[in-house]
Amino acid sequence: MQKKASSRLIQLFIPKGRLHRAGMTGVSKLLVRGFSTLVGFLVLPLTAQYLGAERFGLWLILGTLLTWVSMADLGLSNSLINALSSADTRHDRRSAQSALSSVFFLIILISLGLLLISLSIYAMLPWDLMLNLKSLSNSQEVQSAILICLVIFVLKLPLTIPSRVCNAYQEGYLYELWYALSNFLSFAAITIAIHFKADLPWLIISFFGMQLLGDVFAAVHIFRFRHPWLLPRLEFFDFSIARSLTSKSLQMWIAQISALILCQTDLLIVLKLFGSSEVASYGIVLRLFMLVCYIPSCFITPLWSAYSEAQSRGDYWWINQTFKKSLLFGLLWSAGLSGVLLLSAQKIIAIWFNPDIIPSIDLLFAMFCVAVVTTIARCVATLINGLAETKLQTLIAPVTAISNLALSFFLGAHLGSAGVAWSTVICTTFFSLVILGGNAFSKIRIKSSHVKCNLDV
């Protein structure tokens, strides 16, 4: 009887602390992302008016490529979240030290390899043909901008670790403060660069380069003050742990790179089908509707480590209830705000950006659906990754990505740029929501019912 009462007390208070930490991260993320949203709204019209249609399209493409940095570490930084969260539950600092140091030095090796490869081949590639450029063809400005992006890409790789450490310890709110600082610095830097009529390479340095400072400051704060015992050291590198984390991370990486192809290749497909000028219109609409997804993601993403901790304690009832609440929250928020944006986006773009790139209502409605299904899919992905139930995801994700690429070109050719967005909606709904979401929800419901029966005995 006493054991049963203790179990109920643990269930009562531990989930509250779990949600409290996730909530703090969500609120801080919401405030910071709100500031980032403001920065984005200010930077987009500045760059759109300053660069012109084709250069602005190239700016959006290069910015999109820089978001791909998360896939270049083979999923190691994401596997680190589960490893650190599990070690923290056991109060095992030694395992945490070994996991972080092993991942850090593996990522350093990957970064150096990518840098050498990039420097060797970038000058030989026909960038004007690959990026479907016209007026910027054979421009030295383009090659310099691409080289700078490659260097920033490589530098960002090891700097993804501070955010993963904060997420693992459910302290994402601390990282968000440094992220806010980096956004402020990048906005100030690009404003100064535009004032002095800087060219595209200097704009990339001023905006994307300055964003690296936030990760540097976060690393100093974490490894010097917050968790100094986690500072990466070669002596803590463990080959067996590195091999185990690499094996686990590859499953996450396959799903991650597939999700990247699903969600981040739209601009490249539009570029190939319609040219860089159309990228400007599609890119602005995509950015506007993806802002809708940022707010629920601020509260959904921190649940990754919370799910992982809850599973280590066998608290599947909490996982089940929290997952259902996250789905409801994501659906209501994304549908409501996307609906407002659907009705007002044309006026916003005409006034705030450029009247020459006003999108069609067909594209806006397709983006409305993209925002809704993407938000719900994030809820599902967070649950799957938090529970490390990635086997089915590893099998389904490549099929989803390949299907989306083929369908994007087909629908794009018949429906215009809106067809590219509809392809994302169709593939995400069928593969991510119906197959993966249905499988994850059924597993958690079964486990939570077993736990509830055991508690009642």
Does residue 255 have a pLDDT over 80?
A: no
Range name among 307-316, 320-329, 426-435 with the lowest pLDDT average: 307-316
Does residue 9 have a pLDDT over 60?
A: no
pLDDT at res. 426: 94
pLDDT at res. 453: 53
Does residue 47 have a pLDDT over 60?
A: yes
pLDDT at res. 18: 55
Distance (Å) of CA 278 to CA 56, 118, 265, 332, 415: 10, 28, 14, 31, 14
**Domain span at residue 185?**
2-456
Does residue 411 have a pLDDT over 90?
A: yes
pLDDT at res. 17: 54
Q: Label residue 410 by pLDDT band (50, 70, 90).
A: very high
Q: How many residues does the chain have?
A: 457
The pLDDT tens digits of the residues spanning 99-154 come to 889 888 988 888 888 888 878 877 777 776 666 666 655 577 777 888 888 888 88
Q: Which residues touch 402 (CB under 8 Å, ≥6 apart)?
A: none
pLDDT at res. 373: 92
Range name among 211-220, 244-253, 302-311 with the lowest pLDDT average: 244-253
Place of tokens 């209502």: 361
Does residue 369 have a pLDDT over 90?
A: yes
pLDDT at res. 13: 35
Does residue 397 have a pLDDT over 80?
A: no
Does residue 358 have a pLDDT over 90?
A: no
Q: How many domains does the chain have?
A: 1
pLDDT at res. 322: 86
Q: Label residue 15 by pLDDT band (50, 70, 90).
A: very low
Does residue 6 have a pLDDT over 50?
A: no
pLDDT at res. 3: 41
Nearest to 311 by CA among 300, 301, 319: 319
* Count of C-beta atoms within a 10 Å radius of residue 344: 12
pLDDT, mean of residues 392-415 = 85
How many angstroms separate the CA atoms of 431 and 433, rounded?
6
How many angstroms separate the CA atoms of 419 and 264, rounded?
15
